[in-house]
Amino acid sequence: MNKIKDFFMSYINILILDIKEHLENVPQIFKLSIADLKKTYTGAALGWAWAVIKPVVTIFVYWFAIAIGLRQGGDIEGVPYILWLICGIISWFYMGDSITGGTDCIRRYSYLITKMKYPVTTIPTHNNLSRFFVHIIITVIVVLIFWIGGYPPTIYLLQLPVYMILMFLFFNAWSLFAGLVSAMSKDFSNLVKSFNVSVFWLSGVLWNIENVKDNEIVYSILMLNPVTFICYGYRNCFVNHVWFFEQPKRLLYFLGWYALLVFLSLWAYKKLRKEIPDVLA
């Protein structure tokens, strides 16, 4: 019993340390996230417009390939395919960047650790926060697009911040875990990047997973995907008009994945925090 107690207490202490480091560095986290945004878009002729241009071009290409090329762009859930695609894929833009970007975040900001003794746990947070600012802007634009297209905001949009916060927290935990492991071995980063495309195609971003509902095993496996939960959560807000608490099993599955990811990130931090500065030096 004492060993079990010591095991849990050790991870609780790491979690408390993580929270403490965040609370003590809130101003720095926001400053670094804004600096990261400026660094990304400053210097380009179109500047901040690229934050919108890139998603628009990507959406157009996917829509053209599926709706025009494959002629599979019929209405889904009573809305045009283009709108159904947009409200789901905007979450993927954030998640896809976080999956791959999270693996490189510790190495990218190694100077903060080796020269400034900056808390390692806060690096993924400011890295994800900069992407999250852009995501908020794109989401507002999508709300306006739906409104202009004849689908005004409904009460179901009130739950959109819930999905946004869950998404941020989940991929923040992922970035801490993946960033620490990748700092020790670049092979992990390469492995994640090689699987990113597979995650995209199996998450129902471009196609309706309800189409395979007849195959219960395949459908259940696909719906266990946390990326699918977020993607379809956004569509529940814009298109399906379903509250998150009306699908408790899906929410519990997602929270289960999140709990596991938090544990893995704490485990990685506990095991590697003393070695990281030497590895990055």
Alpha-carbon span 93 to 84, nearest angstrom = 15
Q: Which residue, 7, 29, 1, 4, is CA-closest to 267?
A: 7
Give residue 1's pLDDT: 64
Bridge partners for 76 per DSSP: 79
Helix (H, G, I), strand (E, B) or coil at 79: strand
Torsions phi, psi for 45 (to 5 deg)? -60, -40
Question: What is the value of pTM for the model shown?
Answer: 0.90
Q: Print pLDDT tens along the chain (281 aa).
A: 666 666 677 778 888 888 888 888 888 888 888 888 777 766 555 556 666 778 888 888 888 888 777 666 677 878 888 899 999 999 999 999 999 888 888 888 888 877 777 888 888 998 899 889 889 989 999 999 999 988 999 999 999 999 999 999 999 999 999 998 988 888 888 888 888 888 998 898 888 888 888 888 888 888 899 999 999 999 999 998 999 999 899 999 999 999 999 999 989 888 887 777 777 76
Helix (H, G, I), strand (E, B) or coil at 275: coil
